[in-house]
Structure 1
Amino acid sequence: MKYNNPVIKGFYPDPSVCKVGDTYYLVCSSMQYFPGVPLFESKDLINWNQIGHCLTRESQIQLDKVNSSGGVFAPTIRNNNGRFYMTTTNDTTHQNFYVWTDDIYGEWSEPVYVDQGGIDPDLYFENGKTFFMGNGTDDQGIGGIVQCEIDIESGNKLTSSRSIWQGTGGRFLEAPHMYKINGKYYLLAAEGGTEFGHMAIYARGDSISGPFEEYLYNPVLTNRNLGGYEIQAVGHGDLIQDNNGNWWMIHLGFRQMGQWLTYHHLGREVFLTPVTFDEEGWFTAGHSGTTITCFETNRLSDDVVQKEKKSFTFENTEWDKDWCYLRLPHTHNYILEQNKLTLKGTEITMDQPDSPTFIGIRQKDFNAIISCDLSLMHGEAGITLYMDEHHHYDLAVRKDKNGYKVLERLNIGDIKSIENEMDLGSNNQATLIIRASHDRYNFHLYTDGKDIHLGSAQTKYLSSEVAGGFTGVIIGLYAYGQGSLAEFSKFKCEYL
C-alpha cells in the first residue's frame, strides 16, 4: 500500500511510541500548552486517534507564566509489566520527571522527579532494573548522552550519572532512546538541531552502558541535503517493531511552505519511515536515508486505508482532547458546550506570557477555511492565529463607546498594527472568516449577505524561522477585557 507523510499533522513534535499487544501508543511535546503531552493510539501506525493527555492537572506540571516554547519538552512513553510510564522535562523549571498509569484511558500519577539534569529523558527497563537517560552533563562534568540507574518507585538514583556516548560530532546531541535487539544495545539519538540540519544517528554495543560503536554511515536519516523538498528537519525518532516483525521509525519533521520558501509555521509534525536491518545487524532508514511524502510498502496490508479528517467543528471535536489552553487556564472563564463556546475575558492579553482567555486547536494543513459566528456583549473577542505572544494575527470584534467594530490586527515582533477596521454600528454579531494558503492568510467579514475582504498577511511571519521557538500555529478563540463576554458558534475549520 501507499501511505502519506506526515501521519499526524500540525504541532505535535518530538514523538515517542511503544506497543502493547497489537496497539501502538504515542506521545508528543506540548511546550506551554495545557493539557500537557497529547496521547494517541493506533492499530496500524498510519491512522492515529487522540485518546487524551498525560498531564491534565495543575499538580502535575508547573506552567504558570512559563516562557513560550518552554514548559514540556520531548516525552518518552514506555510500558513495563503492564504499567505505562511517560517521562519528560519541564524545561522552564529544569526538572526531569515521569508519571505512570495502569489505565491508558484514565488519569496519570503525580510526577516522580529524577535528580539528573539535561532534557529529552528516556526510560529503559531490563531484568528488574530501570535506566534513566537523557542528554546533558554527568556527575563528572562530561557532556553527552547521560545515564544512571534509578529506583522506579521513588525516582531516586541508584548509581551516579555517567556520560555513555558523545555522538558523531554534530551540534545539539539530543533525543536518546535505548533498545535491545538480537542481543545488541542500540542507542538512537539526534544531532544538528531541530531545524534544517536535523538528523538521526545511532550506535550499538554489547552493554547498556557502552562502549558504543557508531554506525559507519551516520546519519541514518536526514533530509538536510534535500534543498527545496517539502519535508525538512527529520530527526528525533523512536524505533518500533510492528506485529509482523518489521521495524519503523516514528520521528519529527516539518513541511516548509514552498519549494523556495524556507519557512514553516504548522509546527513540527509526526512522520513514519521504514527501517531495515541487514545481516550484520545494522539498520538503514527511509528512501536512501531520507523521508519522503509518500512511501509504497508491502509491510502494510492493502486493507489498511489511511484516513484523514478534513473538517473540524465544535460538534465533531472534544474539548479535552482536540483543544488546548495557553498555560494553566482560569476555567471559570470558559463555558464549553457541544455546539457553543462562551468566553469571559480578563485584562490578560495574548501579548503576555500568561494565561489569557484562549482556547485553540492546531492548524493541521496549509490550505483551509476557518469560520465562526461571534456574538459579543462587551470587550473584545475573535479568532487568532497564534504562534507566540509576539507573533499572532487577530480577526476580532470590539465594543467601544460608539458601538461595535470588526478589526484585523497583526502582531509581528515589536510591531503591533491594526491594518483595517470596519464599523458595525449597533450590530454585535459577525461571521468571521479566515482563508489560509501556504503563504498567506486572508481575513474576511461576512455580513448582510456580503463577503468583505479586510486584508491579508504573510504566513512566514508566524513561522519558527521568524518567531523562533518550537511550536506551530494554533487557531485560537479568545476574549479580552475585564467584563468582556462573547459567544462563539458554528465554528468550522475545513482543510481543502
Structure 2
Amino acid sequence: MPTHNNPILSGFNPDPSLVRVGEDYYLTTSTFEYFPGLPIYHSRDLISWTLIGHALTRPSQLNLRTVEPGGGIWAPTFRHHDGVLYITSCLWTAYSPQQNVRVWPRGFYVSTQDPWKADSWSDPIYFDQPGFDQDLFWDDDGSVYLSTCFRPIDHDMKSGLKGFAIHTSKIDLATGTSLEAPRVIRRSPSGVAEGSHIIRKEQYYYLFVAEGGTESGHMELVFRSSTGVYGPWEHCPNNPLISATTQDDVQNTGHADLIEESTGKWRAVCLAVRPYRQRHALRTPYLQPIGRETFLMDVTWEDDWPIFNQGSKLQLSFGAEADSVPPILKWRDSFEASEHLSLGWYHKNTPLKREYSLKERNHHLRLWGGPYNLQSLESPTMVLRKQTLARGIWETSLDFLPQRPHCEAGTVVYWNPYTFSSIGVRRGFNGENREIQFTHTTSPGEFTCTTQYLKSMGSVRLAVQCSELEYTLGYAELDEEYNWFEPVSMEVMTADPPRGMAFTGMLLGLYAFGELQRCLEPADFAFAAFTG
C-alpha cells in the first residue's frame, strides 16, 4: 500500500470541512483576516488537492477593514443538499481576548451550484443566532438546524472558564431566521466546546465537538442520540477520538469533520500542528511558523461508534490505495498577463481599490503603492502567499525608482501588523541614489531598521531564507551574491500580538507603499519563487 504524507494541506489551512458530490470532494478552511476568503480545494481521492477558487471574492461578501490579527473569517462548514453547496462561517469584526473584547458575529452562509465557476457563490444570508463555528444539519423531515458556539447568558464569569458552549436551533434556511430559541446541547468541563458538526447515520444522530481549546489541550469528542438534535446525548466510551501530548510528532489535534466515500468507507479531516525538533527535543508548536494544517485519517465504526485513526495518534504519514503525491518543493509565478493574480495570492483585509496590474508591463506584477505601510491595520498594497515548507528560500526581482522619500517596495515575511520582517528599496538620503532598508520586529509593535546604499539603479534581487529557527533576509545587485542581514529568530517572529490572536501561519509576499500618500512610481516584480 502506498505511503502518503500528512498533512494533506500544508501551511495555514486550519478548521477543515469537506463535502462529497458524486466522486468529487470539496474542502474549505478558515482564512481569518485575509482576502479572498474561504478557499475551495478539490480532490478525487482525498489525498491530492487542488485550489480551484474561493467562496468570498467580492466586497459585498467580505469587507474586512481593521480587524485584529485572528479576527475575520472563522471555521467554516461545507455541506451539500439538493444539488446546492453551502458554506457557513462568520466574520469577527472585533476580537481581542486580551481586553475581553468579543463582538459575537451573527454568522452567515453562501451557496452555489457550481464551485468551479469563478464568483458563482452567493452574497451572504445572515443568521439571527450569534456565535462562531457555524454548522448546518438537515433532518429527515426537511427541518434545518443551525449550531453555533458562544458563551451562554447564565455563564459564571467568576469560574475562570471561557464557558463556550454549543447552541442549536431550527431555522428558516432561505432567510436565516431563527424559528426557535437556541438550546445548549453541549458544555465542556474544559470551558471550551466548539467546532461542532451534527451528522445522521442510520438510527443515531452524532454530535462531534472540539474541546479543550485549539492549543495543546485540543481534542475531538463524539456523542450520539437516538432522539434528535436536542439530545439527550450519550457520551462515547472511546472519547476522545483523537488527542495529543506536547511530546507527539503531531499536536493540537481536533476540529474534525467526516465524509463517507461512495464505497461506504469513512474518512475524517482535522487540524493539527507539526512541532520541530531541536537537539532531539520538541519545540513549542507555536514557534513553528507554518501554522495549523489539515490532516487526514481513516474512520471505522464499532458498536455504532466512530473510531478515528484505528484508535492511534496521528502520524506524519499514512497508507492508502491511491497514487503517491510527492511534496511540492518548488513553486514559481512568472506573472503572465492576466486580469487577476493566480490562485493562492492573498491580501491583508479587503482592498479598497485595485492597486496591481499584470498587463501594464509584460511578465511583471506592477504594484502602485497605497498610503498604508505594513504596520497598518487597514489593507496595505501587499500580496501574500502561505508558507508551506519550513525550510527554503523565497526570491523575487524588483525594478523600483522612487523619486520621493517615504516610498518603499520590497518583499516581506509576514505574521501580522505587529510582527514582520521586510527588505525594501527606497530613495537614498541625497536623492541621487537608492538604498536597501531592512526592517524587522524586535517585539510586537516594535521595529528596528538598517539601511545600505545600492550601487546601481537597476533590478534588485530580494530573498528570504526560511528555516525552523529563523528568517534571514538579503539582497543582490546585478549578478552578485546575496548580501545577508542578521537573522531574525523564530521566537521573535511568532510572538503573540498585543491584540487579537496568532491563529494563522506565516506568509511571504511583495509590497509597495507611500507613507500616507500614494507612491507615484510603480514597483515591478519580475517573478516570485519558493525553492524548498
CA distance in 1, matches of 2:175, 2:152: 20
Shift of 1:490: 2.6
Shift of 1:453: 2.0
Q: 1:156 maps to what in 2?
A: 177
Shift of 1:243: 2.6
Instruction: Check the 8 A contact 2:335/2:526 in 1, yes or no.
Output: no
Shift of 1:462: 2.4
Shift of 1:31: 0.6
Q: 1:490 maps to what in 2?
A: 527
Shift of 1:391: 0.5
* 1:235-279 Cα deviation digits (max 9, x unpaired): 11101112322211111111223343212211211111112211x
Q: What code does the residue aligned with 2:184 have?
A: S
Instruction: Check the 8 A contact 2:393/2:464 in 1, yes or no.
Output: yes
* 1:301-334 Cα deviation digits (max 9, x unpaired): 2x42224322222248972521010111144311
Alignment partner for residue 131 of structure 1, among 145, 163, 173?
145
Cα–Cα, structure 1 residues 316 and 76, in superposed 2: closer, same or farther, change >3 Å? farther
Alignment of 1:78-227 (within 5 A): 78-92=79-93, 94-106=105-117, 107-126=120-139, 127-137=141-151, 144-167=165-188, 169-206=189-226, 207-223=228-244, 225-227=245-247
CA distance in 1, matches of 2:58, 2:136: 23
Q: Does 2:49 align with 1:48?
A: yes
Shift of 1:425: 3.9
CA distance in 1, matches of 2:123, 2:353: 21
Aligned-pair Cα RMSD in Å: 2.0
CA distance in 1, matches of 2:65, 2:291: 23
Alignment of 1:432-471 (within 5 A): 432-448=462-478, 449-463=480-494, 468-471=501-504
CA distance in 1, matches of 2:24, 2:202: 22
Q: Does 2:281 align with 1:282?
A: no
Shift of 1:369: 1.0
Q: What code does the residue aligned with 1:116 have?
A: Q
Shift of 1:428: 4.5
Structure 2: unaligned runs, 5 residues or longer: 94-102, 156-162
SS at match of 2:492: helix
Instruction: Check the 8 A contact 2:241/2:311 in 1, yes or no.
Output: no
Q: 2:324 maps to what in 1?
A: 305
* 1:364-412 Cα deviation digits (max 9, x unpaired): 0101111110111212111111010000010211113432111221123
Q: Does 2:379 align with 1:358?
A: no
Alignment of 1:5-16 (within 5 A): 5-16=6-17
Q: 1:345 maps to what in 2?
A: 369
Q: 1:478 maps to what in 2?
A: 511
Moved more, 376-385 or 444-453: 444-453
Structure 1: unaligned runs, 5 residues or longer: none
- Percent identity at matched positions? 29
- TM-score under structure 2 normalisation? 0.87
Q: 2:74 maps to what in 1?
A: 73
Instruction: Check the 8 A contact 1:117/1:137 in 2, yes or no.
Output: no
CA distance in 2, matches of 1:464, 1:19: 38
CA distance in 2, matches of 1:465, 1:240: 34
Structure (1 or 2) with the greater strand fraction? 1
Q: What code does the residue aligned with 2:296 have?
A: L
CA distance in 1, matches of 2:473, 2:72: 32
* 1:79-125 Cα deviation digits (max 9, x unpaired): 00000111101122622111111111231111111111111000111
Alignment partner for residue 236 of structure 1, among 229, 238, 255?
255
* 1:162-192 Cα deviation digits (max 9, x unpaired): 111224x223210000011122111001011
Shift of 1:137: 4.6
Cα–Cα, structure 1 residues 460 and 245, in superposed 2: closer, same or farther, change >3 Å? farther
Shift of 1:466: 7.1
Q: What code does the residue aligned with 1:251 have?
A: C
CA distance in 1, matches of 2:241, 2:354: 49
SS at match of 1:450: coil
CA distance in 2, matches of 1:340, 1:201: 50
